[in-house]
Structure 1
Amino acid sequence: NRSYIKSRSCVFVFLSLFLDPRLKDYLLMESPVNMSAILLAYLFFVLYAGPKFMANRKPFQLKEAMIIYNLSLVGLSVYIVYEFLMSGWATGYTWRCDPCDYSNSPQGLRMTRVAWLFLFSKFIELMDTVFFVLRKKHSQITFLHIFHHSFMPWTWWWGVSYAPGGMGSFHAMINSCVHVIMYFYYSLSAAGPRFQKFLWWKKYMTAIQLIQFVLVSLHATQWYFMESCDYQVPLFVHLIWMYGTFFFVLFSNFWYQAYVKGKRLPKNTQQLAQNGTANRSTTVANGSAVVSNGHGLHGNGLSNGKKHHENGSALNGKMKKA
């Protein structure tokens, strides 16, 4: 046990030697232990504790909380995009080989701060899955969803710790742009049925995400065709290229399953199908009722005719006797 603890301490000391010292006072940045613990707790809740807790309970109605949450993330994402632009992407970056600024200049510190803020937003977004669990939206808790929400913050923590800025921050800025649109959509969706008519572009959300991964991969691909590039952590370029390509494949499969094979039809389409089935059932039921009533009328007519015949026979008999 002592040797294990000692070796683990050596690893942390080694890693800390290369961590950006400008981030030492930022939340969750002192070591990878705390952020890893949060992500493990997230996985434990969404895969086991949460579903077990909700097993015999009715889904929570969290409409107001979700509207506030989603609109807050829209605002936060807009601010993050603005800060990325002002920290370099609109004020000096070439959009090709841009090194990370490790200085204490206002520009360098601003990029460091927004890189951390982007990372912190990934931990806030874990609430997406918590809301799904509490509302019993089990169909939304897919492998893609869980993997994306847990893998993204874990990998970005290392990116922020060693290279907060430069060409490696491109995918963070693009991701924040996508999240402005995505969480605005979620806000409208959480607002209720009266806003459903504004959600016709649901399937295009996945298309926007696919475009995101194409842009990320293309931007990283430039590095392989440059004669020289002074970006300090080339390993991150490889990982970002793999990230963009891998998630493009996963989201493409989601698109195919959801919209080509039709496993996730839009709500209005499903509603029309349900209404059509209900109307057909009602028509058949009404038809049966009409036939049933017709039999009743026919039966009553026969019965009344029979009674009239019997009454007439009885009267004739009495008149003859008289």
Structure 2
Amino acid sequence: MESMYNSFKEWHDRTMSLGDPRLDGWFLMDSPVPSTLLSILYVVLVLAGMRWMKGRAPFDLRPLMVVYNLSMVVFSAWLVYEFCVSGWLAGYSLGCQPVDFSRSPKAIRMAKTCWWFYFSKFIEMLDTFFFVLRGRFELVTFLHVFHHAVLPPAWWWGVKFVPGGFGSFAAMLNSVVHTVMYLYYGLAAMGPSVQPYLWWKRYLTKFQMVQFVTMVVHGMQLYFIECNYPKAFANAIMCFACIFFVLFANFYIQSYLKRSGRRGAKTQEANGHKSAVPVANGNGKSNGLASHHENGNSSSNGYHGVKRSRKAD
């Protein structure tokens, strides 16, 4: 056991010595261990919280969720602005873009923006705890938990070794997506009164899938051009983008395409057997409840229906 610890410590110290020295002493940046442990703790707390909430009355967190989501809109929009003014609208190229490791104000600003983007992944873990406390266990899917658990430690490596340059394009793009996404969640959390204006729910998942395709297309450039940017980090971004594209595409198929097909089949069957089921068609209470659950209940479909598609965010 001691020899394993010594081997790990030797590898850890040698690897950390290769990191960006400008980030020495920054919060959570001296080692990947704290980020990894926090992600593990996140999963443990989610599982423990679901067990604790079973049989308990769900909490009403609507006012808190409105404030949280709209705050995340402002935060995400600020990240987009900072990425732009520190690089992407201030001399960066969509082609080869090495990291500026100098201590110039613009280079330091980009490094700080990358750190805030990384730290935002811990803040976004609150999404899951809102689900748990509201008793919405069906929304705590593999896609949702995997997304929130894996991204903080993954982005740690990018910030530690390449805070800026080519790879920060993915972070900026993800911040754009999150600005729109949290705006939707904030509006949906306001209640049924805004439901008629949330017709664009399904397009959020499409927007996220376009994001992942764009990341892959952008990253593939490094296989055809000479660029002083580590391919390992670009490969990691593309790998995660492909994984999330598959997961989000599967969510879209299950939630929209197959669901629409099932609804169409049920409608056709009901229309063909009206005389056989007069009670079901004439039961206003039953049909009214179903209509409210599908179309008017923003806390279930308007707000949470898209939550299952979260992330890289």
For the aligned pair, the TM-score class normalised by the smaller chain equals 0.7 to 0.9
1:2 Cα offset (Å): 2.3
Is residue 144–residue 250 contact of structure 1 (8 Å, CA) maintained in 2?
A: yes
Q: TM-score, normalised by structure 1?
A: 0.81
Which residue pairs with 1:303 in the alignment?
A: none
Residue 85 and residue 282 in structure 1: after superposition, are their counterparts in 2 closer, same or farther (change >3 A)? closer
Distance 2:148 2:29 in 1: 19
Distance 1:262 1:27 in 2: 45
Is residue 129–residue 141 contact of structure 1 (8 Å, CA) maintained in 2?
A: yes
Q: Which has the higher contact order (CA 8 A, sep 6+)?
A: 2
1:263 Cα offset (Å): 7.8
Q: Structure 1: which amino acid aligns with 2:212? A: F
Q: CA-to-partner distance for each residue in 1:49-102, whole Å, 9 max, x for gaps?
A: 011110121111001111111111100101100000011111101111100011
2:231 corresponds to 1:229 = no
1:38 Cα offset (Å): 0.9
Q: CA-to-partner distance for each residue in 1:199-241, whole Å, 9 max, x for gaps?
A: 1111001010011011111100111121x1112x211111112
Instruction: Give aligned-pair identity as a percent.
Output: 45
Q: Structure 2: which amino acid aligns with 1:140? A: L
1:8 Cα offset (Å): 2.1
Counterpart mapping for 1:302-317 below 5 A? none
Aligned-residue CA RMSD in angstroms?
2.2
1:26 Cα offset (Å): 1.8
Residue 148 and residue 8 in structure 1: after superposition, are their counterparts in 2 closer, same or farther (change >3 A)? same
Distance 1:9 1:283 in 2: 66
Match of 1:74, SS? helix
Residue 40 and residue 170 in structure 1: after superposition, are their counterparts in 2 closer, same or farther (change >3 A)? same
Residue 218 and residue 92 in structure 1: after superposition, are their counterparts in 2 closer, same or farther (change >3 A)? same
Is residue 98–residue 167 contact of structure 1 (8 Å, CA) maintained in 2?
A: yes
Which residue pairs with 1:132 in the alignment?
A: 131
Name structure 2 gaps, 5 residues minimum: 264-269, 271-277, 287-313
Residue 264 and residue 172 in structure 1: after superposition, are their counterparts in 2 closer, same or farther (change >3 A)? farther
Distance 1:129 1:60 in 2: 14
Distance 1:2 1:243 in 2: 34
Distance 1:230 1:49 in 2: 45
Which residue pairs with 1:111 in the alignment?
A: 110
Match of 2:25, SS? coil
Which residue pairs with 1:250 in the alignment?
A: 247
1:9 Cα offset (Å): 1.5
Q: Structure 2: which amino acid aligns with 1:93? A: Y
2:77 corresponds to 1:78 = yes
Is residue 258–residue 264 contact of structure 1 (8 Å, CA) maintained in 2?
A: no
Distance 1:112 1:156 in 2: 13
Which residue pairs with 1:53 in the alignment?
A: 52
Distance 1:150 1:119 in 2: 12
Which residue pairs with 1:289 in the alignment?
A: none
Residue 32 and residue 202 in structure 1: after superposition, are their counterparts in 2 closer, same or farther (change >3 A)? same
Q: Structure 1: which amino acid aligns with 2:44? A: F
1:25 Cα offset (Å): 2.4
Residue 103 and residue 188 in structure 1: after superposition, are their counterparts in 2 closer, same or farther (change >3 A)? same
Counterpart mapping for 1:89-108 below 5 A? 89-108=88-107
Which residue pairs with 1:220 in the alignment?
A: 219
Q: Give the paired residue count.
A: 273
Q: Structure 1: which amino acid aligns with 2:23? A: L
Name structure 1 gaps, 5 residues minimum: 267-272, 285-322
Distance 2:39 2:254 in 1: 28
Which residue pairs with 1:161 in the alignment?
A: 160
Residue 192 and residue 153 in structure 1: after superposition, are their counterparts in 2 closer, same or farther (change >3 A)? same
Decide which moves more: 208-217 or 241-250: 241-250
Is residue 258–residue 265 contact of structure 1 (8 Å, CA) maintained in 2?
A: no
Counterpart mapping for 1:22-41 below 5 A? 22-41=22-41
1:4 Cα offset (Å): 2.4
Distance 2:192 2:101 in 1: 50
Q: Structure 1: which amino acid aligns with 2:246? A: V
Q: TM-score, normalised by structure 2?
A: 0.83
Is residue 67–residue 187 contact of structure 1 (8 Å, CA) maintained in 2?
A: yes
1:279 Cα offset (Å): 6.1
Distance 2:197 2:66 in 1: 16
Distance 2:45 2:260 in 1: 27
1:283 Cα offset (Å): 9.5
Match of 2:13, SS? helix
1:277 Cα offset (Å): 8.6
